[in-house]
Amino acid sequence: MRIKADITPKYLWFVFLVGLLISPVLSQACVLLSRRHLNNLKLMVISDSFLVACLREIQAFDLPIENGSDAHPIKSDIKEVLYEVTIDALSIFNQYNPNSTWEKKHLTEIKMGLAEQIMYLEQCIQEEKKSNNHVKGMKEDKMEYSGEKVFPPVTLKWRSYFHRIKDYLKDKKYSSCAWRIVQVEIRRCFSYLFTKLLSKK
């Protein structure tokens, strides 16, 4: 399996801006969510020179994707999926304890970005649900974000996907190369979900 450090299309910024222009009016949280997600993708870029030294550690994690009869209903709950995926990603990065000062600073930026993305996702989903209830003439749902699970769980395949990543890190004893491979894989996952987020608009 060949992993590229920069999987995001070169013109993703352009696609993102066009998506905002042709989309219905979005709440501020939803707009900030897309921007934050794109910034997180940029933060997770790893140079090819770092990956070359870790080629022997590369492993296929089988990212769940929509494919034929085995398609997952992502478009209908993309933000809920992204919400739980971001929580899982943050949980993984919280286990990393790099040695160098630069890596520690970079890791802090990634974790802060993921935490901010979770906040925007909560606000965006809440606002969309309120808007949908208003249109339908229904009473607004009261949603509380107290750390408890408030969104539908991701599919079993998505959960298994992150279990494979965690098992890989454990098997590799959380080596530097293993962390680089995982960072590239999580970025690939986020890139895929970002394209789904744009296509849903």
Q: What angle do CA 105, 42, 37 make, to 5 degrees?
A: 100
pLDDT in tens, 33-74: 888 888 888 888 887 777 788 888 888 999 987 554 444 545
Average pLDDT, integer, range 73-100: 84
Look-up: residue for tokens 């901010």? 116
Residue 131 has pLDDT above 80, yes or no: no
pLDDT in tens, 144-195: 444 444 444 456 788 899 999 999 999 999 998 999 999 999 999 999 988 8
Q: What are the structure tokens assigned to 42, written together?
A: 């940029």
Alpha carbons 108 and 158: distance in angstroms, whole number: 25
Pairwise pLDDT comparison (104 vs 201), residue with the higher score: 104
Candidates 197, 194, 162, 198; CA nearest to 39 is 194
Residue 110 has pLDDT above 70, yes or no: yes
pLDDT score of 28: 77
Pairwise pLDDT comparison (101 vs 26), residue with the higher score: 101
Residue 75 has pLDDT above 70, yes or no: no
pLDDT score of 119: 93
Question: With contact defined as beta carbons under 8 Å apart, do 152 and 77 qualify?
Answer: yes
pLDDT score of 66: 59
pLDDT score of 133: 63
Residue 103 has pLDDT above 90, yes or no: no
Average pLDDT, integer, range 111-133: 87
pLDDT in tens, 11-39: 454 444 444 443 444 567 788 888 888 88
